[in-house]
Amino acid sequence: VIYLLLLLAPTILADSRWKRVVHGFPQPWVAAAAVVSIESSFPPERSVSLCGGTIIAPRVVLTAAHCVFHETAHAIASSVRVRVAFNRTSSREGNSYLTNDILLHPEYIPARFPAAFDLALILLSAKNELPLCEFVTSPQLARLPPSKLDFARLSREYCYIVGWGKMENDQYSGVPQHANIVNVSETADYHFRATIIEGKGEGAQRACFGDSGGPLICEINQIPYLIGVNSEIYPDNNIDGSIPPESSRRCQFSSRLHAVDIRKQMPTVKAMLASRGLLKAMDESQKGCFNQQ
């Protein structure tokens, strides 16, 4: 198993932090406007993890639990910086919000790392509430999947992940990249009596370090839905031990992706939001942005 979180030393300004999608393709900014970049800081050594996340409500970002919980230190992030509308080709790098308000999925067990429950909510302060869906250039909202979604059809749909990544020419992309994911299916995790989503990178396209917490999106009837949250990748075969643990070369040999099943975990997500009085805001923003009745 290779976890997609990229854990760095206190200094994170080097370009190595952008290793996210291997052999991906440019994603139009508007199509990635619900995707955010996340930097989590942990005590006491002040290490920083780099992940992705997805906006699901004006003050709520959905990400992977292991992005905001340090297993070795057994500590939740002391602070999280959320970068919205981030585009490295622009002279302005979007807006940045700092928070320490984090909710972990109640069934997440760090030491055992169940992908089925690898979810966390990052809550922005009321003063930082995002103006969603106002203009094309505004931050956008991810459309949540219908509860009766038939996963049998997803293997035939266009699915992809999104991130800011290193390209095959070893240069860093200035715009979000996407990698196509095929053979998307629902898989039982019998040990935890839950389900996860499994897919495979198309051709040479791969998820890689730093992609944790980002979205798995599938277009159903040409409408993009947030289907999963990226959690981990699996090697296709044994990987050469001489390859450094955090080298993107390891990702090239790991085509299988596991993601959290958003459809199955929505009742828990709603309960978490209700505990903080934010469920109504999520429901209203989904209806408002997507003209749902």
Domain CATH number, residue 136: 2.40.10.10
Give me the mean pLDDT over the 70-96 stretch: 75
Is a pLDDT exceeding 60 seen at residue 208? yes
Give me the mean pLDDT over the 228-252 stretch: 66
Amino acid letter, 116:
A
Q: Count how many residues are written for the chain.
A: 293
More confident position, 125 or 46: 125
Give the sign of the dihedral formed by CA 117, CA 246, CA 187, CA 227: positive
Note down the domain range covering 171. 151-263
In a domain, 13, yes or no: no
**174 and 90, same structural domain?**
no
Q: What is the CA radius of gyration of the chain?
A: 17
Give me the mean pLDDT over the 108-117 stretch: 76
Give me the pLDDT at residue 9, please: 39
**285 and 245, same structural domain?**
no
Number of domains in the chain: 2
In a domain, 205, yes or no: yes
Structure confidence by residue, pLDDT tens digits, 267-283 = 999 999 999 999 999 99
**277 and 191, same structural domain?**
no
Give me the pLDDT at residue 53, please: 92
- In order, the DSSP letters of the chain are -EE--EEE-S---SGGGG--EET-EE--GGGGTTEEEEEEE-TTT--EEEEEEEEEETTEEEE-HHHHEETTTTEE-SEEEEEES--TTSSS--EEEEE--EEE-TT--TTT--GGG--EEEE--GGG---TTSSTTS---PPPPPTT--GGGGGGSEEEEEE--B-TTSPBPSS-EEEEEEEEEEEEETTTTEEEEEEEESTT-EE-TT-TTPEEEEEETTEEEEEEEEEEEE-SSPPPTTS-TT-THHHHT--EEEEEEHHHHHHHHHHHHHTTT-HHHHHHHHHHHHT--
Is a pLDDT exceeding 70 seen at residue 262? yes
**109 and 242, same structural domain?**
no
Distance CA 214, CA 102 (A): 16
**127 and 113, same structural domain?**
yes
Residue 64's Cβ-side half-sphere holds a number of Cα atoms within 13 Å equal to 34
**278 and 137, same structural domain?**
yes
In a domain, 48, yes or no: yes
Give me the pLDDT at residue 8, please: 44
In a domain, 100, yes or no: yes
Give me the pLDDT at residue 246, please: 61
Cα 119 vs. chain centroid, distance in angstroms?
9
**129 and 63, same structural domain?**
yes
In a domain, 67, yes or no: yes
In a domain, 6, yes or no: no
Q: Phi, psi at residue 263, to the nearest 5°? A: -55, -45
Which residues make Cβ contacts (< 8 Å) with residue 172, sequence separation at least 6? 15, 18, 88, 164, 165, 166
**177 and 129, same structural domain?**
no
**273 and 192, same structural domain?**
no
**102 and 38, same structural domain?**
yes
Contact status, residue 214 vs residue 52, Cβ threshold 8 Å: yes
Which of 137-151, 155-169, 211-225 is the most confident on average?
211-225
* Pairing of β 48-57 and β 60-63: antiparallel
In a domain, 4, yes or no: no
Buried/exposed code over 241-255 (b: 16+ C-beta within 10 A; e: otherwise) = eeeeebebebbbbbb
pTM reported for the whole predicted model: 0.83
**227 and 132, same structural domain?**
no
In a domain, 21, yes or no: no
Q: Please give the torsion angle defined by the CA atoms of residues 258, 260, 261 and 267, in that order, rounded to the nearest 10 degrees.
A: 170
Give me the pLDDT at residue 209, please: 59
More confident position, 6 or 34: 34
**162 and 134, same structural domain?**
no
Give me the mean pLDDT over the 5-21 stretch: 37
